[in-house]
Each structure stands twice: as structure tokens, then as C-alpha cells.
Copies of this chain bind each other. A is one copy, B any other.
């Protein structure tokens, strides 16, 4: 699927539609095969022991699926998450950013389905896996 938006175009769009999370996420890679999205881990994302909280992992998976979908359909702020299933498998490493590898499994007329693997930066084994469905607004 050809992309309609580049990483450089999506960054400002994200800041505009989600001003509350400005500066929290970055895009390491975005092409037709893969999106790699980064959570800049700060104290607000941590749990005792230095591990990243579940809601922060969910937030990263969710924004990654949103970005991967937007990159394909163009700026459609009204897309909304309808379902997420997430498995937490390992404790994230302390003091490391979290990286999401996101693939679009289906881009239909009404729904987008994405698969996300989360890793601590530099780690080999995924800390979590998520699938997310977005409901898409009618397109012309």
C-alpha cells in the first residue's frame, strides 16, 4: 500500500490532533512494510522498579496503529480505536525507550487492523504484543 503521508508530515498532524501527548512519541521509520514508533520514556511512564507502565505501553501501541493507518488513508482525525487486545509478556527494561513495530494487516473500507510488537530499545524479545482495530470515517 503506497503511503499518502511521510513521517515529516505526520509529526505536526499528531501534535495538532493530540496536543496532550506532544513530544511523547517519535517516528524512527515509516515505509510500506513497517512503522517503528518510539515512546520517549520519562518518569511519568514508570512504575516502581523503573518499568514502563501498562497504560504507557497501550498508548504507544494505539498511537502506532493510528499513525500507520493515517499514513495510508491521509489526514482523517476522526478515525477511532474500536478494539485492542494486548498481551504483556515481559517487564520492559529500566531506563530504555520503548519501540513499537507496527504492521497494517488489513486496510478496508470501514476498518483498519494493525499488529504491534513492543520492544525495549536494544532488546531482542518483545515485551508486549497488541492488535488494534480502527473504525474509519467514510472516504471519497
- Which A54-83 residues sit within 8 Å CB-CB of chain B? 54-56, 58-59, 62, 80-83
Once bound together, how far apart are the Cα atoms of A18 and B62, in whole Å?
23
A126 at the interface (CB under 8 A from B): yes
A2: min CB distance to chain B, Å? 16
Cβ of A47 under 8 Å from chain B: yes
Residue of B nearest to A55 (CB): B59
Copies in the complex: 4
Minimum CB–CB distance from A45 to chain B (whole Å) comes to 8
Judge whether A140 is part of the interface by a CB distance below 8 angstroms: no
Chain A residues with a Cβ under 8 A of chain B: 17-20, 43-44, 46-48, 53-56, 58-59, 62, 80-91, 105-106, 108, 110-111, 113, 115, 117, 125-126, 129, 131, 133, 135
